[in-house]
Structure 1
Amino acid sequence: MTGKINGIQQLGVGVENLQEAWKWYREHFSMDIRMFEEEAVAELMLPHTGGEPRARHAVLALNMRGGGGFEIWQHTGKKPEMPGFEIQLGDLGINIGKIKTDNVQEAFQKFKTSGLKILGQICEAPDGNEHFFLKDHFGNYWEIKNEKEVFRRERSVTGGVLGALIGVNDLDESLKVYRDILQYDKVIYDHTGQFDDFAKIPGGAGKFRRILLRHSDVKSGAFSPFFGSSYIELVQALDRGPRSIFDGRIWGDPGFIHLCFDINGMDYFREKVKSMGFPFTVDSARDLETFDMGEAAGSFAYIQAPEGTLIEFVETHKIPILKKFGWFVDFRKRGNHPLPNWLLKMFRFKRVKDKS
């Protein structure tokens, strides 16, 4: 029995108003490919929703330049609750979403012209790569990072999710999840100190240990050519006591709610995470052969990292390509070797276009 991590499928983004947020992310981040959209009740997430089933509206949106998507998620059975404090760099959980671009200068100028709240200027990260940070209309922070890997050339200046920056209590303890379970085994840097590129982020003037990780292997899952490479950056504040970014709130409230990985081998990961002390907190396959997500189907499960971050595993069973023609891909029959690029490029016909 084996298991594979194929790449980041999506970063969960909790919002107060799904349609408003998704329109903003389409306009500025070109997250305009609708893989699925569904209104339902999150009945299996009880360990993370205060023990109650929660009505929600969610959409999985992709960018045709490649990378992970956004799962934009709104509570509809209760009022989404914003943080009651300003989140500081190093607070526990996903602090910053990483977005790829193959032209940092062009992305910076576009976002500046569009009036987005850019924090500082383009600068170098500790690995020498150029990046900059911005705060979106909903209070979330994003790192726009140089990454030459592009799935399909588009007019947009950025691609999809490249990874995440995560605040942790104890960096070495959190590595048990990110390195040993999620297989981010290559250390790009591991530095301690104060960092100029963090200076404009709330709390960023402090002292940190930060480590950047990536996978060393070449991914070979069905969607790996689209997802591409990804990075996890762990940041530990050394001169203050961090607090959870969801202190006093529940999963699905506004902010970065989870990081989701496309995988093969759910049974393998169930046993692996249990043996390492991080058993599934949610496991759809325990009761259901496949979980119907409206237009798509599969199995999903969650673990909770030491600092509290929710990590989702998704094993895809079926996805729609051209729904109106009844064209679906069933991976239980096909297998999970990489889909051909021509087929992945068919996702562009699922684009949502806004009236100008």
Structure 2
Amino acid sequence: FQIVHEPTVYRDEGRLTGGIAGAMIGVTDIEKAMPIYRDILGYDVIVADETGTFDDLKALPSGERQFHRRILSHSKPRQGGFSDLFGKSFIELVQPLDRTPRKIYEGRYWGDPGFIQICFDIRNTDALRKKCEEMGYPFTVDSSRAFKEGESFDMGEAAGQFAYIEDPDGTLIELVEAHKIPLLKKLNIYLDLRKRNPLKSLPKWMLGMLRFMKVKPESL
């Protein structure tokens, strides 16, 4: 984990750190990876672009070698029910320059590294499916194909549709369109997200109720 300064605060709880601001993703060619992260996922702003050796990578395997690093963010504010909660985000693409990298899942099972993929909250799965296909990144998994049009996939306490795409190096990216989320599970109170403006963020009081869904460490 890297700790970075970010002035955006959703709820000030007086803590030293907040949520996840982004992720670093290894690629073999940054330029080839740009279409999926820029044109599909909307990370169209280059915040930083550097080549060389980096002190913050030296503690990692092969971290003392040469890298090309590019930090991306988005020019447009995110929209959707959870947009205010998630806030601004960043993707850093890291390309090794003096070696041929191994794929992260080479000789491993999916899920071995602990973090299995990045997941994006989306709206209009059908439109996104069409765009991804046109750009050459078709859905590799598509829950909606197993159900009737508009039907939800049961995800335990929530429901919706999900899909996966892969970047040019096979890195998995999950896309989830939530249809139903629990507000007060004990009272069987759920919110149907299909009945509200899909571009508008949920009210803070409503998102605050999700705190009661936290899993306590001692219960794991």
Name 2:38's counterpart in structure 1: 179
Shift in Å, 1:196: 2.5
Name 1:318's counterpart in structure 2: 180
Shift in Å, 1:258: 0.7
**Which of residues 230, 234, 237 in structure 1 aligns to 2:96?**
237
Shift in Å, 1:354: 4.9
Matching of residue 335 in structure 1 with residue 197 in structure 2: yes
Structure 2: 5+ residue stretches without partners: none
Matching of residue 248 in structure 1 with residue 120 in structure 2: no
**Which of residues 290, 293, 299 in structure 1 aligns to 2:152?**
290
Question: CA contact under 8 A between 1:316 and 1:331: conserved in structure 2?
Answer: yes
TM-score with structure 2 setting the length: 0.92
Name 2:171's counterpart in structure 1: 309
Question: CA contact under 8 A between 1:152 and 1:345: conserved in structure 2?
Answer: no
Name 1:273's counterpart in structure 2: 132
2:13 corresponds to which letter in structure 1?
Answer: E
Q: Distance in 2 between matches of 1:224 and 1:181?
A: 17
Shift in Å, 1:276: 0.8
Question: CA contact under 8 A between 1:290 and 1:317: conserved in structure 2?
Answer: yes
Number of equivalent positions: 214
1:299 corresponds to which letter in structure 2?
Answer: Q
Q: Residues 165 and 354 of structure 1: is their aligned pair in 2 closer, same or farther, counting only changes over 3 Å?
A: closer
SS in 2 for 1:179: helix
Q: Distance in 1 between matches of 2:216 and 2:139?
A: 38
Shift in Å, 1:155: 4.9
SS in 2 for 1:270: helix
Q: Residues 354 and 170 of structure 1: is their aligned pair in 2 closer, same or farther, counting only changes over 3 Å?
A: closer
Q: Distance in 2 between matches of 1:199 and 1:248?
A: 25
Q: Percent identity among equivalent residues?
A: 55
Question: CA contact under 8 A between 1:189 and 1:212: conserved in structure 2?
Answer: yes
Shift in Å, 1:220: 2.2
TM-score with structure 1 setting the length: 0.58
Q: Following superposition, which runs of at least 4 residues in structure 1 exceed 4 angstroms of deviation? A: none
Name 2:48's counterpart in structure 1: 189
Q: Distance in 2 between matches of 1:169 and 1:278?
A: 17
Q: Distance in 1 between matches of 2:130 and 2:203?
A: 31
